[in-house]
Amino acid sequence: MALAERSPSIVNTLSLPTAYNVCNQTLREVCKADGFSVAHVRMEQGATSLLHVHKAFSEIYYILRGKGVLYAGPNAYHVSEGSYLVIPPKTPHMLENTGWNALSHLVIAAPPFNAQDVMLLEEKNYARPAPTELLRRNNKIVALDGATVTELLTEQEQQLTKVSLAIGELEAQRKAHPHIHNEAEEVYYLLDGIGTVTVGETTGTVGEDHLVYVPRHSRHALENRGTVLRLQALCISSPPYNDRDFVPG
């Protein structure tokens, strides 16, 4: 079962059932919000997804673990933990696992994924480009809730997808300031550490591979209860986050 729509939810992604997909990967449909959907995909060693294209929606690939090569149109990139790429509509793409272990990644579709918008392509007609390194942003700021945040998408990419993507970090024993968004719905995907999250009247313990759905108008905050490690989360917001939509709670 996917996350409940428009209700505060905390879920261990890896506990969800797998869903059918044309690439025969281990895919879990994790969340379907108004502006985007999130799927968790695991590819075994040596696996390659099918070359395909979407006419209507963009995809953002975020690599959780493993190594691979991501082909997107005329470009190809070496990817590893923390790599991410926006793939616009009408861009042929596929992912190859080139590492020694499984490759796990998130696929964020904006607007939400629609299976009828998946068009498979003949790989024999696609000249695989030589892969290059994928650049990563490192523009850390302190956000209004007190967390250290790195915005990942450019303004142009946010305009295309109507989504913002950021890495939020809380040092040991730190708690973010509770707040509300009246315009945006938000998802936290926990990348590292152990903590507590409160969304509305719901409170729970979260760790790696937990996902939290925050509806609009819901008071929410993350807390790092660890004594050593940082708490790190991927933050997905639609429409894209802006300070005007931060209401202290």
CA distance 148 to 181: 18
Contact 190, 215 (CB under 8 A): no
Q: Give the pLDDT score at 151.
A: 96
Question: What residue spans of the chain are helical by DSSP H?
Answer: 155-161
pTM score, two decimals?
0.95
pLDDT, tens only, 142-184? 999 999 999 999 999 999 999 999 999 999 999 999 999 999 9
Q: Give the pLDDT score at 39.
A: 96
Q: Give the pLDDT score at 149.
A: 97
Strands 132-133 and 75-79, bridge-based pairing: parallel
DSSP secondary structure, 30-78, as one string = EEE-SS-EEEEEEE-TT-BPPPEEESS-EEEEEEEES-EEEEETTEEEE
Choose among 169, 182, 183: nearest CA to 235.
169
Domains along the sequence of the chain with CATH: 9-133 (2.60.120.10), 140-248 (2.60.120.10)
Q: Give the pLDDT score at 8.
A: 75
Phi, psi of 245 (to 5 degrees): -95, 10
Phi, psi of 129 (to 5 degrees): -75, 160
Token pair 């790429």 in the structure block, residue: 85
Q: Which residues of the chain have pLDDT under 50?
A: 1-2, 4
Q: Is 53 exposed, middle or buried (0-12, 13-18, 19+ CB in 10 A)?
A: middle
